[in-house]
A and B are shown apart, each in its own frame.
Chain A
Amino acid sequence: MSYRAESFLWIVQRASAAVLAICVVVHLFTIVYAVQGGLSAAEILARTRGNTAWLAFYSLFVLAATVHAPIGLRAVLGEWFGWRGRSRDLCLVVFSGLLAWLGMRAVLGVFL
């Protein structure tokens, strides 16, 4: 991978980290707030089903994680296991796709 692409990955990882920081805080506060009156699936679905604001929020959350996690994993694989080169990057693209699929499946599961 070129130095330009690697520099770009670094920028994207930092930017997605900033998004994740906000998303995690909102997510945790929502959990704490939501469980105060007891936790039930019906209550969660009442809040999220058909609510485009929560759909947008959790889609952004998933997108940030989809971008952020594989870039971090890329460094771990390179440094701890010596796995570098094209095969690593292709695997991480697949991993990223898997995260996006699983994440959006969960998001749409509580929206639709």
Chain B
Amino acid sequence: MLKVRVWRGTQSGEFQGFEVPRYPSQTVLDVVTHIQRHLDPTLAYRFACRVGMCGSCAMMVNGVPRWTCRTHVDKVGEKLEIGPLRNLPVIRDLVTDMREFFDKWARAKGEFRGRQTKNDDFAKVPPASPARVQVDTGIECIGCGVCYAACDVVSWNPQYLGPAALNRAWTLVKDERDDRTLERLRAVAGDAGCHACHSHVSCTERCPKHLSPTAAIAGLKREVSKAVLRGAL
């Protein structure tokens, strides 16, 4: 049997203990699902795809943010403590309110705006071009919020846009089809943006997709600095 402690409540609350049967190749999400289906149907949690694509099942597992559907119990030890993602308001039990997280994507001008119309031909972006290669590393983000929960700067500065939103902004800054670069650089500059990052690398350490928001943020700092020095911002 596996001893599991699961957060119950909202911002205030406590961990509740459960004993869950141990199975081979059991994931943390399997454990939570077992509790909800067999031990306590009132447990609130969020998941959808179960295969690491949708980014909805991220939780704190033994104090570390992880995608629970792809985290094997073997990997995290015989004692489990499962809580809601850090740095986000808790709605109930393991469910956090992700609004602020995604609002920050919008604040970082995270939406694409091209300059071509439907009458134009497709943009041809050489896959090996330096800008495209830099975008490649960032576009696989599934928006799970693990990096946001791992980031100490977010906990110190609630206005900070966070690694995911800045990573998104970086992929668009380097997207040659997009025409909002300066507007976006203005949005991500300053104490609430890329300049707040201390390069602790927690986001990169924890990202389940092995992306590097730290590198993306460093790229934004470079681009903002260049724009400031040539007087464009």
* Chain A interface residues toward B at CB < 8 A: 1-4, 6-11, 75, 78-80, 84
The 8 A CB mask of B193-233 against A (1 = contact, 0 = none) is 10110000000000000000000000001001100110001
Q: Which of under 10, 10 to 19, 20 to 34, or 35 or more describes the interface residues of B?
A: 10 to 19
The 8 A CB mask of B150-193 against A (1 = contact, 0 = none) is 00010011000000000000000000000000000010011101
Tell whether, in the assembled complex, residue B157 and residue A11 are in contact, meaning their CB atoms are under 8 Å apart.
Answer: no
Q: Given A8-B228, A11-B225: A3 and B157 within 8 A (CB)?
A: no
B152 to chain A, nearest CB (A): 9
Tell whether, in the assembled complex, residue A7 and residue B153 are in contact, meaning their CB atoms are under 8 Å apart.
Answer: no
Q: Given A10-B221, A11-B225: A78 and B191 within 8 A (CB)?
A: yes
Task: Give the docked Cα–Cα distance between A10 and B192 (Å).
Answer: 13
Tell whether, in the assembled complex, residue A3 and residue B225 are in contact, meaning their CB atoms are under 8 Å apart.
Answer: no
Q: Given A1-B191, A78-B191: A7 and B225 within 8 A (CB)?
A: yes
Task: Give the docked Cα–Cα distance between A51 and B136 (Å).
Answer: 56
Contact of B228 among A1, A4, A75, A78 (CB under 8 A): A4
Tell whether, in the assembled complex, residue B156 and residue A80 are in contact, meaning their CB atoms are under 8 Å apart.
Answer: yes
Nearest CB in chain A to that of B228: its residue? A7
Contact of B157 among A1, A10, A78 (CB under 8 A): A78
Task: Give the docked Cα–Cα distance between A96 and B23 (Å).
Answer: 62
Q: Given A10-B221, A79-B156, A79-B157: A3 and B186 within 8 A (CB)?
A: yes
A89 to chain B, nearest CB (A): 11
Measured between beta carbons, the chain B residues less than 8 angstroms from A79 are 153, 156-157
A53 to chain B, nearest CB (A): 30
Q: Given A78-B157, A79-B153: A6 and B225 within 8 A (CB)?
A: no
Tell whether, in the assembled complex, residue B229 and residue A11 are in contact, meaning their CB atoms are under 8 Å apart.
Answer: yes
Task: Give the docked Cα–Cα distance between A11 and B193 (Å).
Answer: 15
19 sample A-B contacts, Cβ–Cβ < 8 Å, listed by A number: A1-B191, A2-B190, A3-B190, A3-B233, A4-B189, A4-B228, A6-B189, A6-B190, A7-B189, A7-B190, A9-B195, A10-B195, A10-B225, A11-B229, A75-B196, A78-B157, A79-B157, A80-B156, A84-B191
